[in-house]
Amino acid sequence: MPPARGTDTASLDGRARYRRIMRFAAAALAQTWWFELVLPRFGLRWLADRSRAKRVQRLARRFHALAADLGGLMIKVGQFLSSRLDILPPEITRELEGLQDEVAPESFENIRRQAEAELGMPLEQAYAAFEPVPIAAASLGQAHSARLSPAIAADVGFEDVVVKVQRPGIEQIVAIDLSALRRVARWLSRVKLVSTRADAPALVEEFAATSLEEIDYLHEAANAERFAEDFANDSRIAAPVIVWDRTALRVLTLSDVTAIKISDIEGLTTAGIDPAAVAQELARSTFQQIFVAGFFHADPHPGNIFVTPGPSGSGENWRLTYVDFGMMGEISDSLRSGLRDFILAAVGRNGRALVTSLERLGVLLKSADTEELERAMTALFDRFGGMGVAELQTIDPRELQEFAKGFGETIRTLPFQLPENFLLLVRTISLISGVTSALNKDFNMWDSVDPFARSVLSSNGGATLRGLGQQAVSYASTLARLPGRMDELATRIDRGEVAVRTPDVDRRLRSLERSVGRFTSALVFAALLLSGVLMRPTDEVLGWVLMASSAVPLLHVIVTWRRR
């Protein structure tokens, strides 16, 4: 029967998709194992170090191509990884930054069937008009312009709408992708090199929760209404209105709020709207969401924010209109309290307080040695604290590059992992910083955060006293912690965790280590070569593989001998 054949075909396609993802993951892990674990054991760490940047960049490019080809959740995986600056090197995050959630649109007939099945009526009955060509197509769904029937339009007060329809079969694709990702995470959790730096299964579950929410349009509709309620008394902030009579799990109908894209500086200027004022308002609304509402838009890229001119095209009473509420972040009371401490430290340019606030937020794991991070943060504040984008542009690029390289290396050596909502928060502020800088190159996020953070703190009684006495408490706290830090230092010495540098002894030990390494490599070389020669008569392929593998330990013997 045709349905059975269709089901079989879908099942086969699903298995093929799963295998492609697993083949890529297995190849990536094998490459990493070889270069990061095997070669260093033979004293060839220098070879792995020298090729690392190009290798990971090639790996990121291959994943970029795989994600663009498969679509579905893999596009989201790439975007998720591009934001994980806490655990991934810049060679990977930079390569994946450009991965756009734009794919070929689904056929209109498939979209029609999906929408009619969800709404329980023909499309012609649900809407007065429905544009077959989508205005946007993404990996999980696509959007179409439409017009409400007169009866519903009279009830809601508008007729022009945007209808988001989920791609047919996307739930099965998401399930397959998550199954593959969970298996890869289990692999990674058994690799010490990875498990000491990140909790891979937890990362996948965080990603899964966010992804499943994105394909639940009822959840997105509820988010949009909550956001609108939070800003109901703010004349500068708006959101689209949900048409619940034409909304279901896989279909979302909302008022068409298309206006001037926030990054369209020419359009803003033509409308008589000052881009610098828009930048200031965008920053204010972002911090209002974070610190007052505790519920914020976590994907505020330029395509998701419009600037709506006032009545009759006025350049005075304009509004910021947010769209796409599939990805939202929420600030718990404990996270809000931790963020207050974090911002106080940032505003006060206090490196030690900043590190302490990160520990309280749960960002730094207990095993982290934070002294190096504290020094890096202090150096960062001393050199660049309070500077705006325009001021940073006057600094020698080589200085910025050198500082960024050293700071990034310090960050990546520490065992820390951002909680999901904290990650969304960092991503949001990063995106907002980029948009505001594009609107006004002289815009300074420090200046925007400072007064807002202080006003939030001053509205919280006890927090005010803590903020006013912060410096005095900091000095007293430092004195109070001295005995404990001395005891900690003694404990670390007992455990052998403090390195005492003795150049002559170190040099002799390294020489002995190289000698042992050369001897071991020589034995491995002889064993592989002899095994290959003996195996060739019975298994020619395996024999040649063993003989070829013997080249690696032989290379180690030759290279380290020359370096004596």
**DSSP per residue over 384-399, as a string?**
HTT--HHHHTTS-HHH
The residue behind tokens 């807002």 is: 452
Give residue-wise pLDDT tens across range 332-343. 777 777 777 776
Q: What is the pTM of this model?
A: 0.67
Instruction: Decide if pLDDT at 468 tops 60.
Output: no
CA 315 to mean position of chain CA atoms: 36
Closest CA to 60 of 102, 32, 18, 37: 32
Whole-angstrom distance, CA of residue 411 vs CA of residue 23 = 31
Pure H helices in 318-396: 333-347, 351-360, 371-384, 389-392
Highest mean pLDDT among 69-83, 354-368, 373-387, 524-538: 69-83
pLDDT at site 207: 81
What confidence tier does 529 reach under pLDDT thresholds 50, 70, 90? low
Whole-angstrom distance, CA of residue 392 vs CA of residue 346 = 18
The residue behind tokens 């998401």 is: 174
Range with lowest mean pLDDT among 21-25, 186-190, 510-514: 510-514
> Do 107 and 144 touch, CB atoms closer than 8 A?
no
The rounded mean pLDDT for the chain is 75
Average pLDDT over residues 269-292: 90
Whole-angstrom distance, CA of residue 543 vs CA of residue 531 = 7
Give residue-wise pLDDT tens across range 156-184. 999 999 999 999 999 999 999 999 999 99
The residue behind tokens 């670390």 is: 492
**DSSP per residue over 481-499, as a string?**
HHHHHHHHHHHHHHHT-S-
Give residue-wise pLDDT tens across range 399-457. 656 656 665 565 555 655 666 667 778 778 878 888 888 899 888 766 666 655 555 55
The residue behind tokens 């806490």 is: 86
Q: Provide the strand spans (E) within 477-560.
A: none
Q: Residue 173: how many CB atoms within 10 A of its CB?
A: 22
Find all residues with CB under 8 Å of 177, minimum gap 6, and list them: 17, 21, 72, 73, 74, 77
The residue that leads in pLDDT, 552 or 137, is 137
Specify the pairing of strand 237-238 against strand 319-322.
parallel
pLDDT at site 313: 61
Closest CA to 458 of 343, 297, 295, 356: 343
